Amino acid sequence: MKKKAFYPIRGIVFCFIFLMTMTTAMNANESKNPSGFEIERGINLSHWLSQDFGWAPRLEWITENDIQYIAHLGFDHVRLPVDEIELWDEEGKQITEAFELMKSALGWCQDNNLNVIVDLHTVRAHHFNSGEAKEGGNTLWTDPEEQEHFVDLWRQLSEHLKDYPNDFLAYEIMNEPTAEDPEDWNKLIAKSMEFIRSVEPDRVLIFGGNMWQIPQFLPVLFVPEGDKNIILSFHTYEPLMFTHHTANWIEGPIQTFPGPVSYPGPIIDRETFDRLAPGAAHFRHPLEEKFVDDWGPKRIKEEIQPAIDRAKELGLQLYCGEFGCLPSVEREDRLAYYTDLIGVFRANDIAYANWEYKGDFGIYEWLGLESLTGAPDIDLIKILVGE
């Protein structure tokens, strides 16, 4: 009796182990890059080691509890923006406390099975809002010394980060380049990659097109041939008049127009568009006919189609590293926008990271600078994690 019972069980156990082994092997083969760095849905840890506006003490803004909560919600990675001014002082000396905090975050993420993208967000010679760059301009594109300095920043980052597993940590070379000539960005990518690949040949590198990483510039982006440890990135905040309604950092009608704006459908009506159009020159992004388009999933996909096509052409994973909508619009419309955007991402196998965890675009109720964050926005969170 025992023998008859034993052998079938042993066979079942053997089959189970075999199937698990085969499943693991298949999953490894299905990874979108040779290094096995996998991402699907994530969130940005903003206003911490990047764009720190002093809203709260740094040690309190992001803690281990926050990382545990992000993992608990169902996100699988975080994008960690870092700025030169936050990690290095004006003499170029590393700020030990900031580097240690970055490493603490990496440790918290490892403990909670969250992958990480370290994103060099701004440097003193370049800011995506050009007026905030050193000396009031983006000298990175015209000064060879600044370009060498940029590569040296990555040399120093690599010295701290190179021992982290390739399937856990990826590098985003730079956030939202704004070179007047896209070829200047292409040349800096090539220079940066040449160095990083010399010391970390298997690290997954992430980068996107010129001009705020909008999808339309991916077709002219330099991508080295044969390097499959690359993820192509784009950002989208379109339609800007909806997602940035009354944003105080954008000059012109987007900032001053009281509304109404709506989604889905036209963001504003034709009569309103014609009235506001003369102020278009004051926009960071020109006021275009797109604001009176019929916005919904089809129009969103049209907006990001150039990025989808380029990723398919190169056989690389596509990633939307930033998107979001301010809570200054009607809540129902805002949630509808997020629902449609995430639906388009998922339908087209696009990984994504919401801008942001805490802040006015965040997943908590935004109460302004007096109390900063309210309760978690459960409806928004469910949309972002795909529930």
**Mean pLDDT confidence for 50-57:** 93
**Mean pLDDT confidence for 341-354:** 98
Sequence-ordered alpha helix ranges (H) in the chain: 2-29, 58-61, 64-73, 84-87, 96-111, 144-161, 182-199, 210-213, 240-243, 253-256, 270-276, 297-314, 331-347, 378-385
Give the list of residues 6+ apart from residue 245 with CB closer than 8 angstroms, or none: 254, 257, 259, 261, 326, 328, 329
Give the list of residues 6+ apart from residue 207 with CB closer than 8 angstroms, or none: 172, 173, 174, 189, 221, 230, 232, 233
**Mean pLDDT confidence for 61-77:** 98
- Tell me the CB-side half-sphere exposure of residue 205, using CA atoms within 13 A: 22
Give the model confidence (pLDDT) of 293-318 as tens digits. Answer: 999 999 999 999 999 999 999 999 99
Whole-angstrom Cα distance, residue 168 to residue 116?
A: 6
Reply yes or no on whether the pLDDT at 283 is more than 90: no
- Contact criterion met (CB below 8 Å) for 268 and 291: yes
Mean pLDDT of the chain: 89
For 373, the 3-state DSSP assignment is strand
Residue 215 token pair = 């999808």
For residue 114, how many other CB atoms are within 10 A of its CB? 22
**Mean pLDDT confidence for 63-83:** 98
pLDDT of residue 279: 60
DSSP 8-state assignment for residue 263: S
- Contact criterion met (CB below 8 Å) for 328 and 243: no
pLDDT of residue 134: 58
Among 267-276, 307-316, 372-381, which stretch is predicted with the lowest mean pLDDT?
Answer: 267-276
- Contact criterion met (CB below 8 Å) for 251 and 284: yes
Residue 241 token pair = 């008049």
